Structure 1
Amino acid sequence: MIDFWLAAGLLLLVALSFLLIPVLRSRRAQREEDRTALNVALYQERVAELQAQQEEGVLDAAQMDAGRAEAARELLADTEGVEAPRVSRLGKPLPLLAAILVPVLGLGLYLHFGASDKVELTREFAHAPQSMEEMTKRLERTVAAQPDSAEGVYFLGRTYMAQDRPAEAAKMFERTVSLAGREPELLGQWAQALYFADGKKWSDKIQALTDEALKADPKEVTSLGLLGIAAFESERYQDAIDYWNRLLAQLPAEDNSREALQGGITRATEKLQDSGGKVAQAPAAKAAAVLKVSVDLAAELKAKVQPGDSVFIFARAVSGPPAPLAVKRMTVADLPVTVELGDADAMMPQLKLSNFPEVQLVARISRAGKPTAGEWIGRSQPLASSTTAPQTLTIDSPDK
């Protein structure tokens, strides 16, 4: 901060110079005015002496006129080059008062509206923290300086959780949700913090948060893990196994938490068997659906389209949401083309081909590049999403 205040001091000196220079100039003008007055007084005294000598008969009229002219020339020589006095409308006290008030007001306004705290935080974050406590203090000051920063509030909540301070973490996650929206991940972490803050007691609010998170994203890992923990604590071991198996399927093979999660599933299995229960087998996963389709343009339309026009090839559910289940984008220049539409092309995780028994294939040409509206279209008859035979689709109709 020292270099910042040095720069501010230099700028302040520049500002003061504009205020003090007129004051110094007025003092110089005053000195020149005083000297001129003195010369005039000397001239008048010289003229009086000449008149006295004339009255005494020492000087005649011609000598009197010559002496007066000589005195006038000396006065003119002494005052030549002196600027005419300027009268300041502001007066002398006002610039001096401004010179005092400018730095005081400037400092006060900067301390009130400025960002010295943010400057200091930026300098601090340039160096790695030496401890978790130091990192926490930095994040707390960041949140205080930038209360509308969702990222800062979120990371402070994560830090509180790492320090086993779930009640404070829950408040931070609630603020994050209000700033960034009801994202599934944020809802899951908010619910988790509330659960541990309440001494591992389940509540309607926690249930509502996890339900909302999993409805938006069935793979939300924090909610799945939390529901498994709550089920295990309440001795609902089969539910715990199911939730943790769903979570295990989402984790990468190299994730370090897989081992601990597998240990939890093993303990829940043992508890269930010890109580006389039997572990229910998870239903077999559906095979991934893949549809192979060849798309071409009707001959009568080839003169009406342009090579750069967009071509959207997609599958949508016959009975279900209107959003495409899988989509590929090409251009007219690519036609004819053969593509595969499958679960890997799903626009949303919960909208996969394999989740809907019957679909329709659609190919649309859109000069504006919009998948929802265009100039020409081709549609197939409804077919099973499990169809493996190659399909053919021709773009041949106006898009209405």
Structure 2
Amino acid sequence: MMSLWVGVALLSVLALGFIFWPLVRYGKQQNGQSNEVVADRLAENVRLFREHIAELEVQLTAGRIDQEQFEQLKLEQERALLEDEADIRAAQQSRTLGAGLKTLSIIGVLLITVSWGLYQHLGSSADVEIRLAQELKQELDNKDYEAGRNPDPVRAREMVRLIQARLADEPEQLQYWFFLARMQMDLNDFGQAVNAYQQVLQRDASSAMVMAELAQAMFLRDDRKMSQPITDLVEKALKAEPDNTMALGLAGIDAFGKKDYVNAIKYWERTVKLTGQDSPGSQALVAGIERAATLYFAEGGTEASLAAARAGRQLTINVSLAEGVTASPEQIVFVYARTWQGAKMPLAITRVPVSELPKRVVLTEAMAMTPAMSLGSVDNVEVVARISQDGTATAKAGDWQGSFGPVDMKAVPPDVNVKIDQKVTQ
């Protein structure tokens, strides 16, 4: 922070130098020239005075004025000459360099003072201080990690102090509320972290990340116990961002606490899949998955039922060819489900050769192209079976296909029959 004010001071001195140096230099030149100018003006006034007196003498000799008038007019000319000289001398003194320097010095001080005050009121010196403190904390924390030590919490407390002071002046600074919440989490002050996250959520109610982190802070604040408000936040977070790993982990904890071991396994397996086996926390999740499976079997569950449950929602589809459809045995049939009257991207997809038709096909959540868009993410789907002419999944004119829908995924029928009987025209 000191470097900022040193820089400001140097820039101020430099700016004043640009103002005063030309003035000093020009002022010296001006002083050198002003005496000559004054002498010239005085000489010109004396010359004019003498011309006027000579003219009066001519008038007196010609008898146009008498002696008394001559004396009176001469006296007036003398007074005018003296007054002009006094005015010229006074004007020369008022234009001295000292007066200019004093005036500009006062103006310079006022400008710096006003600028300082405006910057204190409108500027971002506090933001600069926070940024510098954050960079220093990060540097020192990294050194502690490299040395195998835990970071000194004093640095986090100093960051909290700076951020709280800034928020006292600018309470609508969303990023500082979020930053404050993160710092409070680092200090294990979960109650204060919850308050800060709630401030963020008031200003950004749609952020799935904030919802998930708030839910985690509440969970830790409450001695690692789930509650309905936490569950509600987790559900909202997953609805807005189905791949939010923090929300998935909490959803698994909630399901495990309710002895819903199958869903606990599904949530945690999905989390591990998204974060990777080698990520921090994955080993704990794998251990939780094994524990949930053990308890599931202890309550009478079987390997087959667990495997079916892990697959999640599924559709059994009987695919057949209508009479008159011409296709070679080696052509590929793409069988997939997509959102009913929604996005065309498949929620689950598989492929079989024409030679195997008619065939019974099973689509599961595991066949999703992305974890966020699967059979478990929608309530109504359309099932499509299409013979591709060139082996690609994109429909083209001349392909044959059949479809069925809508299918209610909350009450899935045992079998869905799809007959390929329509020719794609475009």
Q: TM-score, normalised to structure 1's length?
A: 0.55
Residue 290 of structure 1 deviates from its aligned partner by: 12
Report the Cα offset of residue 100 of structure 1.
1.9
Q: After the TM superposition, which residues 173-188 of structure 1 pair with which residues of structure 2 at under 5 Å, given as runs?
A: 173-179=197-203, 181-188=205-212
CA distance in 1 between counterparts of 2:226 and 2:133 reads 40
Question: Out of 190, 195, 215, which is 1:171 matched to?
Answer: 195
Q: Does 1:396 align with 2:425?
A: yes
Deviation of 1:359 (Å): 1.8
Superimposed CA distance per residue, residues 313-353 of structure 1 (whole angstroms, 9 cap, x where no aligned partner): 996648x35222329xxxxxxxxxxxxx9944359424579
Contact kept? 1:170, 1:190, Cα under 8 Å: yes
AA aligned opposite 1:110 = Y
CA-to-partner distance for each residue in 1:239-295, whole Å, 9 max, x for gaps? 3x334312331203334534333544566678899xxx7154534416989999xxx
1:147-158 to 2 correspondence within 5 Å? 153-154=177-178, 156-158=180-182
Matches within 5 A, 1:113-192: 113-127=122-136, 128-130=139-141, 131-133=151-153, 134-135=155-156, 137-138=158-159, 141=162, 144=166, 153-154=177-178, 156-179=180-203, 181-192=205-216
Paired residue secondary structure (1:190): helix
Q: Which amino acid aligns with 1:396?
A: T
1:12 paired residue number = 12
Aligned ranges 1:340-359 → 2 under 5 Å: 343-346=367-370, 348-351=372-375, 358-359=382-383
Aligned Cα root-mean-square deviation (Å)? 5.5
Kindly provide the amino acid, as one letter, of the partner of residue 236 in structure 2. Answer: E
Cα deviation, 1:355-383, whole Å, max 9, x if unaligned, reads 877423699xxxxxxx9xxxx99883315
**2:302 corresponds to 1:278:** no
Residue aligned with 1:345, SS:
coil
Between the aligned residues of both structures, percent identity stands at 19
Are 1:360 and 1:380, in contact at CA under 8 Å, matched by a contact in 2? yes
Give the counterpart of 2:384 among 342, 360, 370. 360
Question: Taking structure 1 as reference, are residues 189 and 254 closer, same or farther at Cα in structure 2, changes over 3 Å only?
Answer: same
Instruction: Tell me the CA shift for residue 199 of structure 1.
Output: 4.7
Question: Relative to 1, partners in 2 of residues 1:28 and 1:396: Cα closer, same or farther, differing over 3 Å?
Answer: same
Helix, strand or coil at the partner of 2:219: helix
Structure 2 CA distance for aligned equivalents of residues 266 and 345 of structure 1: 26
Question: Would the alpha carbon gap of residues 323 and 231 (structure 1) be closer, same or farther in structure 2, given more than 3 Å must change?
Answer: closer
Cα deviations by residue, 1:199-221 (Å, 9 ceiling, x for unpaired): 55654432321222233455544
**Residue of 89, 99, 120 corresponding to 1:111:** 120
| Residues 116/26 of structure 1: CA separation in 2 closer, same or farther (3 Å cut) | same
The SS at the match of 1:381 is strand
State the one-letter code of the partner of 1:242: V
Q: Structure 2: which 5+ runs fail to align? A: 47-90, 142-150, 320-333, 348-362, 388-393, 408-414
Provide closer, same or farther for how the CA distance between residues 279 and 161 of structure 1 changes in structure 2, counting only shifts above 3 A.
farther
Quote the Cα distance in structure 2 between the aligned partners of 1:353 and 1:379.
28
In structure 2, the partner of 1:245 is: 265
Please state whether the residue corresponding to 2:210 is helix, strand or coil.
helix
Quick one: which amino acid aligns to residue 264 of structure 2?
Answer: W
- Cα 1:9–1:357 change in 2 (3 A) is closer
Contact 1:362 1:378 in 2 (8 A): yes
Where do 1:186-201 residues align within 5 Å?
186-199=210-223
| Greater mean alpha carbon deviation, residues 138-147 or residues 156-165 | 138-147
SS at match of 1:323: coil
What is the one-letter code of the residue matched to 1:12? S
Alignment-mate amino acid for residue 11 of structure 2: L
Distance change in 2, residues 1:3/1:193 (3 Å): closer
Greater alpha carbon shift after TM alignment, 112-121 vs 224-233? 224-233
State the Cα distance separating 1:191 from its structure 2 match: 1.7
- State the partner residue of 2:346: 326
Instruction: Give the Cα–Cα distance (whole angstroms) in 2 for the partners of residues 377 and 175 of structure 1.
Output: 57
2:12 partner letter: L
Cα pair distance change 1:147/1:316, threshold 3 Å: farther
The partner residue of 1:208 within 208, 228, 232 is 232
Query: Structure 1 unaligned runs (5+)?
Result: 46-83, 293-312, 328-340, 364-370
Of residues 99, 117, 121, the one that matches 2:108 is 99
**Residue 380 of structure 1 pairs with residue 409 of structure 2:** no
CA distance in 2, matches of 1:391, 1:86: 108
TM-aligned CA distance change 1:290 to 1:167, over 3 Å: same
Q: TM-score, normalised by structure 2?
A: 0.52
CA–CA separation in structure 1 for the residues paired with 2:17 and 2:45: 41
Higher helix proportion (structure 1 or 2): 2
